[in-house]
Structure 1
């Protein structure tokens, strides 16, 4: 997929499922449960053992856009891209990681907390800025940053739940990252619950469509 196609998939999905598990087999089961629930954009955190193998396996699934999370350096970025990741997320801004993404036509989503970090990410060429941890910031904070930086596209991550989901779609926000509130039942082996929760997020995303699309008119 080309970068614009990946960006469009993120915009249309409005939800990126964050998969971070202690075992690769469980990560694959969690990812499949999210897919069964209708989520098509998946972030496989590279804190997951053999996470690159998980990305490689999922990259062969039709209709699924898989990315790598917790990418901290350009070497890891390169390995994730070779494994099939179409977008890379980081908890912080690393210009070398962003350049690696640009070099290979992969979407870069570095993490930022402050206006300075957002501008640093934009100057380095980030496609989307992950506001992290979102729970510590809140939608009003993101909306305030978006006012003087209308060119920025945001993805809140960390603290998004099905109950507060609509509130995150303030100015500039095109999608959200959802982890624990979506995948927590994996600890008890209840993958059906993950699928059910995924369906709820997909339904909530469908209701949120127009605002997210307006935020991504530059795409």
Structure 2
């Protein structure tokens, strides 16, 4: 899959489910619930035990799978070889960027400042993860796009059903959601996570 195709899928999807499972089985269930609810792009975090099993189990699903909580180049390469189509970090790492570029995989680093964003752009990042987004107002995106109109931002952390539309209307190319899914799954199981995923997708297109 070509890099520009992956980026198009990410921006078309609008909603990226950030899956943190207490076990591989939970991560697989959560991912399938998100997909059943209409979310087709999923970030599987490396905080999940035996995450390679999750990639393997979902290999034939119609889902764009990426890897999150990637802290070093070794993990990035492991994720890419496991099947990740994009790599996400909570911070920008100069050693991760070349690995992703080498394999033609988008790298979405977490950034909070203009300086960090410009540096990430210079190393080839096409989408910047604003993280944690709950430290900012949605209007921050327009402020960034003033001097840097070409920066594409995906806020993650603190996105919920009440503010997702505001973030998207303010210029976010997509949003990352996660903790809500885990809470829904813990409280009501698989179908509760499916229903919440449906609600997020409905909000993303209104």
Could you state the TM-score of these two structures normalised by the residue count of structure 1? 0.90
Q: What 5-or-longer segments of structure 2 have no aligned partner?
A: none
2:163 paired with 1:164: yes
Residue 80 of structure 2 corresponds to 81
Quote the residue 2:152 is aligned against. 153
Give per-residue Cα distances to partners, 1:111-159, cap 9 Å, x unaligned: 0011111111111111210000000112122221121111111100000
Show the 5 A alignment for 1:1-219: 1-61=1-61, 63-170=62-169, 172-188=171-187, 190-207=189-206
Q: Give the 3 Å change call, closer, same or farther, for CA 121–190 of structure 1 in structure 2.
A: same
CA contact (8 A) 2:55 2:82 kept: yes
Measure how far apart 1:189 and its partner are: 5.4
Distance in structure 2 (CA, Å) of the matches to 1:198 and 1:134? 20
Q: 1:193 to 1:41 in 2, by over 3 A?
A: same
Shift of 1:59: 2.8
Once the 2 structures are TM-superposed, how far is the Cα of residue 183 of structure 1 from its aligned partner? 2.8
C-alpha displacement at 1:83, in angstroms? Answer: 0.2
Whole-Å separation in 2 of the counterparts to 1:56 and 1:64:
13
Structure 1 unaligned regions, length at least 5: 208-219
CA distance in 2, matches of 1:74, 1:15: 26
Q: Provide the aligned length of Structure 1 versus Structure 2.
A: 206
Aligned to 1:122, the other structure's residue is in SS state helix
1:135 touches 1:160 (CA, 8 Å); kept in 2? Answer: yes
Q: CA RMSD in A?
A: 1.3
Q: Confirm or deny: 8 A CA contact 2:168 2:204 kept in the other structure.
A: no
SS at match of 1:111: strand
Which shows bigger deviation, 137-146 or 107-116?
A: 137-146
**1:56 and 1:109 mapped to 2: Cα distance?**
22
- 2:56 aligns to what SS in structure 1? helix
